[in-house]
């Protein structure tokens, strides 16, 4: 299905439909993200003039801009353009981790090396740079130790996720995550949590008329009441009449910097454990 969509997009790009594509990219967010993904998967050089402006447009939806980065990184010309944006300091801070992850796994060694200079991966334990993603993916971890890492107070995975009934349900249940995400996506979800927020797990900032604030996941909503789950799993209910404003946040409720709490070996073991959690 994905290959058929990419082939269809190549045929569209070869025709006279680019203006229509531009209009769709400026339209409804979910459809625009799906179209951007199809453009990236096409691997067509004609997609580059469409994807580049999205990355540079600071008014565009963040999910759309991240998808454009993934698309650009699929071609040598696009990956080179991303490195140039970083070199010229024209890449927004909220996009740098996505760009560094995507460029660290491209097949062009010279581009990977250049990206490591201008877009290094986030630092790991003791502020040491993480190994390239391609190297991490190749490593074989110890799932048993990965389970221990998952349950440590340092990594604190179990404080927000359940596995087979154990843990706290703030984020998604991970009991079958190995059947849903490949190893590459598991690494990305830990290194850059905000790059792929699961539907229904978007954090919200709520300001009350009293001046107090609430932050967390909206777990239920009625005409009169809003129920918000904090990052500790506690659900608090608020009367809508007491709410001054609410805003969906661009960042995941999952904290950044988790990789700084573990060694590269522990990170590899954690991914091995998560990958073993299957149906």
Render pLDDT for 117-138 as a digit per residue (tens, 0 to 9): 999 888 788 888 788 888 899 9
Residues 6+ apart with CB under 8 A from 199: none
Q: Which of 83, 82, 73 is nearest to 107 (CA)?
A: 73
Residue 110 has pLDDT above 90, yes or no: yes
The more confidently predicted of residues 79 and 253 is: 79
Q: Are 90 and 52 in contact (CB under 8 A)?
A: no
Residue 1 has pLDDT above 60, yes or no: no
CA gap 87, 227 in Å, rounded: 45
pLDDT score, position 14: 65
Domains recognised in the chain with CATH numbers: 2-120 (no CATH), 133-191+255-276 (1.10.760.10), 203-248 (2.30.30.100)
For 246, the enclosing helix (H) or strand (E) is strand 243-248
Residue 5 has pLDDT above 80, yes or no: no
Q: Which of 175-184, 207-216, 255-264 has the lowest mean pLDDT?
A: 255-264
Q: Which of 25-29, 84-88, 198-202, 255-259 has the lowest mean pLDDT?
A: 198-202
Average pLDDT, the chain: 85
Render pLDDT for 167-188 as a digit per residue (tens, 0 to 9): 888 888 899 999 998 998 899 8
Q: What's the rounded mean pLDDT across residues 185-210?
A: 81
Partner residues linked to 255 by β-bridges: none
pLDDT score, position 69: 94
The more confidently predicted of residues 145 and 195 is: 145
* Residue 229: strand, helix, or coil: strand
């Amino acid at each position: 299905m994905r290959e058929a969509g990419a082939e269809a997009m190549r045929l569209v790009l070869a025709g006279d439909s680019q203006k229509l594509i531009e209009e769709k990219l400026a339209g409804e967010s979910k459809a625009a993200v799906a179209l951007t993904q199809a453009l990236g998967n096409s691997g067509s050089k004609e997609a580059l003039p469409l994807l580049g402006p999205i990355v540079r447009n600071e008014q565009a939806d963040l999910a759309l801009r991240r998808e454009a980065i993934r698309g650009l990184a699929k071609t040598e010309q696009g990956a080179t353009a991303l490195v140039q944006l970083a070199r010229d300091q024209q890449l927004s801070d909220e996009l740098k981790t996505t760009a560094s992850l995507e460029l660290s796994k491209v097949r062009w060694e010279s581009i990977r090396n250049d990206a490591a200079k201008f877009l290094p991966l986030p630092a790991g334990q003791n502020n040491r740079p993480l190994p390239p993603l391609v190297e991490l993916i190749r490593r074989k971890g110890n799932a048993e130790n990965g389970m221990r890492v998952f349950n440590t107070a340092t990594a604190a995975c179990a404080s927000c996720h359940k596995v087979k009934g154990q843990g706290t349900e703030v984020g998604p249940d991970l009991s079958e995550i190995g059947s849903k995400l490949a190893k590459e996506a598991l690494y990305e979800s830990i290194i850059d949590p905000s790059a792929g927020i699961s539907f229904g797990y978007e954090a919200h900032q709520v300001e009350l008329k009293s001046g107090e604030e609430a932050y967390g996941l909206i777990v239920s909503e009625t005409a009169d009441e809003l129920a918000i789950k904090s990052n500790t799993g506690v659900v608090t209910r608020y009367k809508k009449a007491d709410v001054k404003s609410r805003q969906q946040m661009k960042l995941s409720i999952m904290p950044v910097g988790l990789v700084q709490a573990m060694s590269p070996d522990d990170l590899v073991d954690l991914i091995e454990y998560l990958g073993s959690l299957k149906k």
